[in-house]
């Protein structure tokens, strides 16, 4: 390894940590992705943004938008590529395979899954394959949400089911080649599937999934079904019965066997899950959308998994609606976006049982996803939540945007921003990072042009 | 732990993970779970399913005696644990981990009536240029118990092996300026008696106790011994 060091690799423009990366050995989260995945630990070159198509905006179709975020690149701060998938599918979440060669991106309405090749030309992802029979293959799961890398496989959470389109749903597994493997239904009151119901709820709902391999644990959260998430938000919130049909559970699974172990009460729609990286930090955070709390999901001293509300997020009575969260490099900070007030809040979670808010900043008229770099120095935000829930009016550049900030340890400092409406792209949702160095490539010296 | 000490010596000065190239060079060494006692109960054989992932591809390889053969011929009618490595791999949590865990399988397999003579270990180098038959053979002799069914393999050429790596979804990449370092995702495959991949293990997930549980599960599962119609 003589001669291989940060200095001479600097010419490549990014570093990546070894592909044998240990879950638990990492010192940062790089957007909270699967611990099974290779990580970019230096300057990322691109952010890939899975973007919701809006009728009358550009071609109106969902698309994968590539933004150049490397300050050393001539294309820095601009959209360098976008690839439309044709039609609107309720583009939502996306995830990279464990080898980071492919980006999977799913649609909550059409149930289609789009697999993009991001390794052949990291600056210009191309649509490699589309899975169109997710519902049939999975045995009736609807709403493929989290695209989560496992060794050689991708694990999906569903949000709903084809039978009644409410919240009962399942985990669905595919090979990296895009072949269906298995469906694992969530435990509910009618069929606990071997799990222990520890409290009041056993709803069978799903939303996010994260793995803690060192404890052989999968953690899933719960949102709501197709009937709710495809509905206009104002109408939905005025419908008391519909508002009862949100998830109230987190489920602890056996990672190896994919069998549910324990259902925990976490009332109020627990959404994103972020697990700590410390070698002995056996806990994860989630936030509840409807009750605006941070919950700690933790393994106690007896080896039992528990859930505990540990902090309030803003004023719950004003329905700030916590959405994406991101745990920082050393498990010391947790960024929490609240969609309704367009604000991000930073909590000191060095004592996970007692988070303390240390900072807040309004990002835009609405804010949903955030992704932070491996070193925690760069934070990116996007605005869109769901097509029928997004705000329809706002200040120019503040409604549907991608914004880049730097974090200096005390505060966010604004970088560049891209108005996705002015650029006729749509409503930006989940972000994933790309880098030439992942694939042994260097940035071409030729000028970069946008290709639609 | 003598093996571990040998690995540590081999890796001295090169850091733990490829990330040691970068700003993480000073990070303390953390060994993969596969080097230690499993810190949770191993799965109970037969209480869970291991769905078929994909058909294990065939391909032309050289065995450690220099004989040109094919993967399917080597798999025969056995359950197989197969690793992809290269012998110059200096990431202790990469290829050396795979070889260590496979070496740890030998004792339990030999001692288990269900597994004895039913399991075959294969280790295939994806660096045929440097891992000649002589090199891979010498490497294997360090780790294989006498008479144990563990064959070390290489290829005639990188071009010869390329389709095999594609079929097993094992991406590799020669690191530019890396003195022969090949970046890759560590993958070890569990293959049933009908040549179907039933599990894929990586660094965070690879442990001898888990592999033994999986071997017992697929060998006790009669459906594993019945070819699917399309097979």
Contacts of A256 in chain B (CB under 8 A): 43, 48, 210
Tens digits of per-residue pLDDT, A65-82? 999 999 999 999 999 999
The answer to whether B177 contacts A6, with C-beta atoms less than 8 Å apart, is: no
B114 falls within a domain = yes
Is the pLDDT higher at A449 or at B72?
Answer: B72
Residue A229 lies in a domain: yes
The reported pLDDT for the residue numbered A2 is 25
**b/e sequence A88-124, b meaning 16+ C-beta within 10 Å:** bbbbbbbbbbbbbbbbbbbbbbbbbbbbbbbbeebbb
Would you give the end-to-end CA distance of chain B in angstroms? 43
How long is chain B?
231
* Contact between A69 and A52 (Cβ < 8 Å): no
Q: Which residue of A has its CA nearest to B93?
A: A20
In whole angstroms, give the CA distance from residue B231 to residue B217.
Answer: 21
> Which pLDDT value is given to residue A46?
96
Å between A141 CA and nearest CA of chain B: 18
Residue B35 lies in a domain: no
Write out pLDDT tens, residues A164-206.
Answer: 999 999 999 999 999 999 999 999 999 999 999 999 999 999 9
Q: Which of residues 24-53 of B touch A (CB under 8 A)?
A: 24-25, 27, 30, 32-33, 39-40, 43, 47-49, 51-53
Instruction: Provide the domain count of chain A.
Output: 1
Please give the pLDDT value at position B10: 32
Say whether pLDDT at B19 is over 70.
no
Smallest CA–CA distance, residue A252 to chain B, in Å, is: 14
Which residues in A lie closer than 8 A to residue B24 (C-beta atoms)?
Answer: 17, 27, 41
Which residues neighbour A335 within 8 Å (Cβ) at sequence distance 6 or greater? A325, A326, A328, A344, A345, A346, A347, A370, A372, A379
Kind and range of the H or E run holding A156: strand A153-157
* Average pLDDT of the residues in A112-116: 98
Angle, helices B133-143 vs B95-111, to 10°: value is 50
Most confident of A7-21, A136-150, B166-180: A136-150
Percent of chain A predicted with pLDDT > 90? 84
Considering the domain boundaries, does residue A389 fall inside one? yes
| A71 or B23: which leads in pLDDT | A71
Residue A451 has pLDDT above 70, yes or no: no
pLDDT confidence bin for A3, thresholds 50/70/90: very low
Q: What is the pLDDT of residue A35?
A: 52
For residue A12, tell me if it sits in a domain. Answer: yes
Name the pTM for this structure: 0.91
Q: Structural domain of residue A291, as residue ranges?
A: 6-439
Q: Is residue B132 part of a domain?
A: yes
Residue range(s) defining the domain that contains residue B193: 2-11+53-225
How far apart are the C-alpha atoms of B140 and B103, rounded to whole Å? 10
Q: Which residue has the tokens 């109970």?
A: B44
Q: Which residues of B touch A330 (CB under 8 A)?
A: none
A370 contacts A335 by C-beta, under 8 angstroms = yes
Q: Residue B91: which pLDDT band, with cuts at 50, 70 and 90?
A: confident
Q: Say if residue A363's pLDDT is above 90.
A: yes
Per-residue confidence (pLDDT) for residue B29, from 0 to 100: 54
- Scanning A117-156 for CB atoms below 8 A from B yields 151-153
Interface test with B, best of A5, A16, A18, A30 (most B CBs within 10 A): A18
pLDDT category of residue B1 using cuts at 50, 70 and 90: very low
Domain with B66 in it: what CATH number? Answer: 3.40.30.10
Q: Which of A307, A370, A384, A292 is nearest to A334 (CA)?
A: A370
Into how many domains does chain B fold?
1
Whole-angstrom CA distances from A14 to A45, B52, B231 are 7, 37, 44
Local structure of residue A213 (DSSP, 8 states): G
* Residues B183-200: tens digit of each pLDDT: 888 999 999 999 999 999
Structure tokens, B113: 């009536």
Q: Which CATH number belongs to the domain containing residue A404 in this structure?
A: 2.130.10.10
Question: What pLDDT was estimated at residue A375?
Answer: 87
Q: What is the mean pLDDT of residues B89-97?
A: 90
Average pLDDT score over residue span A372-380 = 92
- What's residue B181's pLDDT? 83
The reply to whether A422 falls in a domain is yes
pLDDT at A328: 87
pLDDT over threshold 70, residue A26: no
Average pLDDT, chain A: 90
Q: Is A447 within the bounds of a domain? A: no
Of A4, A98, A101, nearest to B178 by CB-CB distance is A4
pLDDT at position A306: 98
């Amino acid at each position: 390894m003589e001669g291989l060091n940060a200095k001479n690799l600097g010419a490549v423009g990014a570093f990546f940590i070894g592909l044998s990366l240990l879950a638990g050995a990492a010192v940062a989260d790089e957007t909270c992705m699967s611990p099974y995945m290779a990580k970019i630990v230096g300057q990322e070159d691109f952010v890939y943004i899975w973007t919701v198509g809006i009728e009358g905006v550009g071609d109106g179709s969902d698309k994968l938008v590539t933004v150049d975020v490397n300050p050393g690149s001539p294309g820095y701060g601009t959209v360098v590529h976008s690839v439309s998938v044709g039609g609107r599918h309720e583009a939502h979440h996306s995830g990279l395979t464990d080898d980071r060669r492919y980006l999977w991106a799913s649609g909550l309405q059409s149930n289609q899954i789009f697999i993009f090749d991001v390794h052949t030309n990291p600056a210009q992802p191309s649509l490699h394959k589309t899975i169109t029979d997710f519902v049939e293959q999975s045995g009736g799961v609807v709403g493929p949400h989290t695209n989560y890398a496992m060794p050689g496989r991708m694990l999906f959470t569903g949000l709903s089911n084809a039978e009644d389109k409410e919240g009962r749903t399942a985990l669905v597994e595919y090979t990296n080649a895009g072949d269906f493997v298995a469906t694992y239904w969530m435990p509910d009151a009618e069929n606990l599937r071997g799990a222990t119901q520890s409290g009041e709820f056993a709803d069978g709902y799903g939303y996010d999934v994260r793995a803690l391999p060192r404890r052989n644990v999968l953690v899933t959260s719960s949102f709501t079904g197709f009937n709710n998430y495809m509905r206009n938000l104002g109408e939905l919130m005025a419908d008391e019965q519909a508002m009862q049909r949100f998830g109230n559970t987190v489920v602890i699974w056996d990672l190896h066997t994919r069998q549910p172990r324990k259902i925990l009460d976490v009332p109020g729609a627990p959404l994103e899950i972020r697990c700590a990286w410390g070698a002995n930090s056996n806990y994860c955070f989630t936030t509840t959308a409807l009750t605006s709390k941070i919950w700690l999901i933790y393994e106690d001293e007896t080896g039992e998994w528990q859930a505990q509300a540990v902090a309030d997020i803003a004023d719950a009575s004003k329905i700030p609606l916590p959405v994406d969260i991101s745990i920082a490099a050393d498990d010391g900070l947790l960024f929490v976006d609240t969609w309704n007030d367009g604000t991000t809040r930073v909590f000191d979670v060095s004592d996970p049982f007692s988070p303390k808010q240390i900072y807040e900043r309004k990002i835009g008229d609405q804010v949903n996803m955030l992704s932070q770099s491996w070193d925690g120095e760069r934070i990116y935000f996007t605005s869109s939540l769901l097509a029928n829930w997004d705000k329809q009016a706002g200040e120019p550049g503040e409604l549907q945007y991608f914004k880049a900030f730097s974090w200096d340890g005390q505060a966010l400092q604004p970088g560049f921003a891209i108005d996705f409406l002015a650029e006729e792209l749509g409503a930006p949702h989940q972000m994933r990072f790309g880098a030439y160095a992942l694939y042994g490539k260097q940035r071409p010296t030729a000028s970069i042009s946008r290709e639609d | 732990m003598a093996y571990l000490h040998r690995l540590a010596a081999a890796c001295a000065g090169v850091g733990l993970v490829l990330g040691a190239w970068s700003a993480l060079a000073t990070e303390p060494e953390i060994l993969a779970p596969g080097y230690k006692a499993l810190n949770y109960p191993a799965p109970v054989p037969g209480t869970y399913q291991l769905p078929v992932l994909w058909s294990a591809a065939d391909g032309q390889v050289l065995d450690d005696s220099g004989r040109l053969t094919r993967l399917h011929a080597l798999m025969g009618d056995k359950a197989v644990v197969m690793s992809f490595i290269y012998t110059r791999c200096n990431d202790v949590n990469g290829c050396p981990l795979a070889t260590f865990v496979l070496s740890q399988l030998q004792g339990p397999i030999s001692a288990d009536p269900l597994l004895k003579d039913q399991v075959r270990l294969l280790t295939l180098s994806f660096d045929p240029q440097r891992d000649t038959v002589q090199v891979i053979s010498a490497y294997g002799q360090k780790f294989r118990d006498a008479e144990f069914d563990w064959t070390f393999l290489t290829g005639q050429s990188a071009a010869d092996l390329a389709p095999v790596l594609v079929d097993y979804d094992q991406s590799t990449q020669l690191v530019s300026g890396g003195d022969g370092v090949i970046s890759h995702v560590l993958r070890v495959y569990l293959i049933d008696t009908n040549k179907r991949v039933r599990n894929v293990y990586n660094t965070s997930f690879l442990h001898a106790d888990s592999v033994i549980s999986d071997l017992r599960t697929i060998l006790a599962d009669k459906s594993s011994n019945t070819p699917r119609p399309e097979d």
